[in-house]
Amino acid sequence: MSNSNPYPGGNDVISEQPMLVTDLIRGTQYQVQIVDFYIDEMFNGIVFFDRMEILRQTNITDYDVLERLFYSQFSVQM
């Protein structure tokens, strides 16, 4: 597992080998080892790829909602 500690919460995805993550809207592809789901104190749902913010949505209070939003816009291949 990677030495980088993701933020607490959510069903984070961590892999020794890079995963291929595809933005289904733009077609952009990323090679990442950590997909990190986080909801901050202002109820911003944020998704990070290897600690780089990739998606932010306001008024998110539940990790299931944030994860459904992410997986409706991105695919992850191990």
Closest CA to 26 of 73, 76, 70, 65: 73
Strand ranges (E), the chain: 13-23, 29-39, 45-49, 52-57, 74-77
Per-residue pLDDT of 17-68, as tens digits, reads 999 999 999 999 999 999 999 999 999 999 999 999 999 999 999 999 999 9
Q: According to the model, what pLDDT value does residue 12 have?
A: 87
pLDDT of 2 higher than 70:
no
Neighbours of 72 (CB within 10 A): 9
pLDDT tens for residues 3-27?
455 677 778 888 999 999 999 999 9
Residue 40 CB partners (closer than 8 Å, separation 6+): 46
At residue 49, the pLDDT reads: 96
34: Cα within 13 Å, side-chain hemisphere:
17
Between CA 31 and CA 77 the distance in angstroms is 10
